[in-house]
């Protein structure tokens, strides 16, 4: 039995396309229809409702895996320095 299942296995679209759409939606707040247009301009025909389902499925896992990178830099150092 495989320990780490591939969440993209069996998907119609490539992993990179799915991750690109989810990342841009989450990071920049681009609407699903705008993402649909952006992908169409790049030759990828996907419906906005499909992008919605990608976000619902993959965004929570992306957030969990990337949370460490998104932390506030001041959280990395618990003490503060003052000018004297």
b/e 29-60 (16+ beta carbons within 10 angstroms → b) = ebebeebbeebeeeeeebeeebbeebbeebee
Please give the residue that has the higher pLDDT: either 7 or 19: 19
* Domain boundary assignment for the chain: 15-60
pLDDT tens per residue, range 13-65? 778 888 889 888 888 888 999 999 999 999 999 999 989 988 988 888 877 77
pLDDT at position 2 is 47
Question: Quick one: pLDDT at residue 3?
Answer: 47
DSSP 47: -
Q: What pLDDT score was predicted for residue 37?
A: 96
């Amino acid at each position: 039995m495989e320990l780490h299942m591939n969440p993209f296995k069996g998907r119609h679209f490539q992993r990179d396309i799915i991750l690109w759409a989810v990342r841009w939606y989450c990071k920049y707040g681009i609407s699903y229809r705008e993402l649909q247009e952006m992908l169409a301009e790049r030759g990828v025909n996907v419906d906005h409702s499909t992008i919605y389902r990608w976000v619902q499925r993959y965004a929570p896992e992306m957030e969990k895996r990337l949370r460490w990178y998104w932390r506030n830099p001041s959280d990395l150092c618990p003490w503060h320095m003052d000018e004297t």
